[in-house]
Amino acid sequence: MVPENGGRLDLLVTKNLRIALIHATPLAVQPVNEAFAADWPEATVCNLLEDSLAPDLARAGQLMPAMITRFERLAGYARDCGANGILFTCSAFGPAIESAAKSVAPLLTLKPNEAMFRDALKTYKHVGMIATFAASLPPMEREFHHMAEQAGIDVKLESVLAAGAMEALADGHAERHNQMIADAARTLVHCDALMLAQFSMAQAKTDISRFYERPVLTSPASAIAALKQGLLG
């Protein structure tokens, strides 16, 4: 039975939900917060930024045990702050995020591209993926294929790196960043859909959509929809 003030009750429940966003680069902070403001403004969002993680991974060349421990501590801190759900925005740290999720179970925890991959696998058989952080591509490709295998789905994935785009964004050149991603997208126009791997890439969707008429999936939009579904049903 729906109460007379059912709409207001739903709004109250939503406003009482706290989502912790855990970032490894400041470049991801603005895009995902803008996505929440547009798609789920009622949620309370808090941001945890640990910007030494990405440089440490780049120097080490691989995910080290100490990094996994750091992710577990970040997740534990978010839980202790009263988070109802956690969204990691750093796509190069899949195994560390999986370990962190187990450490705070049953708290709802999402890897950055988990929901986007799931959305792509539901519908498309030939998917293109664009990344701006080279270290993120191998683990993301493995994750995508693993999810496809688990679901028994036959899908083709093509990946391309928009080299230099992340550096352009870090230097304050957002238009150049978006154009470099759009240029990379032109090599994948034969795909059924495109996925933008990094959260910071969502802003390039408009440029891509000017010439690519098929779906362009972004990590923030898919993740927010999944969090809403998981927490509100």
pLDDT score, position 94: 87
Neighbours of 135 (CB within 10 A): 18
1 is a domain residue: no
Residues of the chain with pLDDT under 70: 1-15
pLDDT value at position 14?
Answer: 57
Question: Residues 117-164: pLDDT tens digits?
Answer: 999 999 999 999 999 998 889 989 999 999 999 999 999 999 999 999
* Strand order through the sheet with 85-88: 44-49, 18-23, 85-88, 108-110
CA 198 to chain centre: 6
Looking at the structure of the chain, the number of domains it has is 2
Same domain, 132 and 94: no
Furthest-apart CA atoms within the chain: distance in Å? 58
Q: Which helix (H) or strand (E) holds 87?
A: strand 85-88
What is the pLDDT at residue 1?
35
For the chain, how far is it from start to end, CA to CA, in angstroms?
16
CATH code of the domain covering residue 108: 3.40.50.1860
The Cα–Cα gap between 158 and 2 comes to 47
Q: Are residues 64 and 80 located together in one domain of the fold?
A: yes
Question: What pLDDT, on the 0 to 100 scale, is given for residue 220?
Answer: 94
Q: Based on the domain organization, do 82 and 98 belong to the same domain? A: yes
Q: Is residue 135 part of a domain?
A: yes
Question: Given this model, what pLDDT does residue 92 score?
Answer: 82
Same domain, 227 and 211: no
Is position 79 within any domain?
A: yes
Q: What is the pTM of this model?
A: 0.87
pLDDT of residue 136: 87
The pLDDT score that the predictor gives to residue 15 is: 59
**Residue 19's domain spans which residues?**
6-112+221-232
